[in-house]
Amino acid sequence: MVAVATPTQVLAPGTWTIDPSHSEVSFTVRHLMVSKVRGTFSRFSGTITTAEDHSQAGVEATIELASVDTRDEKRDAHLRSPDFFHVERHPEMTYRSRSVRAVGDNYIVEGELTLRGVTRPVELRLEPNGVSRDPWGGTRAGFSASAEINRRDYGVEFNIPLEGGGFVVGDKVSINIEIEAVLQPPQA
């Protein structure tokens, strides 16, 4: 008989390391005013700190911008250029929380996102998806998070006007994050 892990909502206090092979950081932005383009980042890292007192909880994450993937090599190269991410000068995007507060069964994480050398406040809506023991003796937790930013707030100004009105690229960028994190052993 095989034991089946049943997810719970009880998060043990401690430090959880993001497992990038079971996580995803993605974004969506309007294109030509008629559709949305989706992209992901394949290289990222981070930690989530949980505590009995939510004011002691926190999130830190780093995303390597050169790892952008929109399934179009030319577009990805343009996104890496000075028109957008300018990865030669700004190779990473970072997020650091400042506070965490419970809202029902979910959380609001208030923090700062740094992109292209510009740091602005960004609020993440965080949903815990459960906690489970893994087959290797570890403890894992799942989280879904979302936020919305205006790319112009970070100096990403590139655009081309359309003949009938509007622009090639929308200003609003939706960020969606699916995280699986592993509880780290306590430090001695």
Number of H helices, E strands in the chain: 1, 11
Spatial contact of 128 and 102, defined as CB atoms under 8 Å apart: no
Q: Is residue 132 part of a domain?
A: yes
Question: pTM for this one?
Answer: 0.89
Q: Is residue 177 part of a domain?
A: yes
Comparison of pLDDT for 146 and 31, the residue scoring more:
146
Q: What is the pLDDT of residues 140-155, one digit of tens each?
A: 999 999 999 999 999 9
Q: What is the pLDDT of residues 53-110, one digit of tens each?
A: 877 889 999 999 999 999 999 999 999 999 999 999 999 999 999 999 989 989 999 9
Q: Is residue 5 part of a domain?
A: no
* Chain centre distance of CA 48: 12
Q: Which domain holds residue 107?
A: 14-183
Q: Is residue 2 part of a domain?
A: no
Q: Is residue 129 part of a domain?
A: yes
Q: Tell me, what CATH number does 70's domain have? A: 2.40.128.110
Angstrom distance (rounded) from CA 109 to CA 127: 10
The number of folded domains in the chain is 1
Q: According to DSSP H, which parts of the chain are helical?
A: 73-80
Q: Is residue 7 part of a domain?
A: no
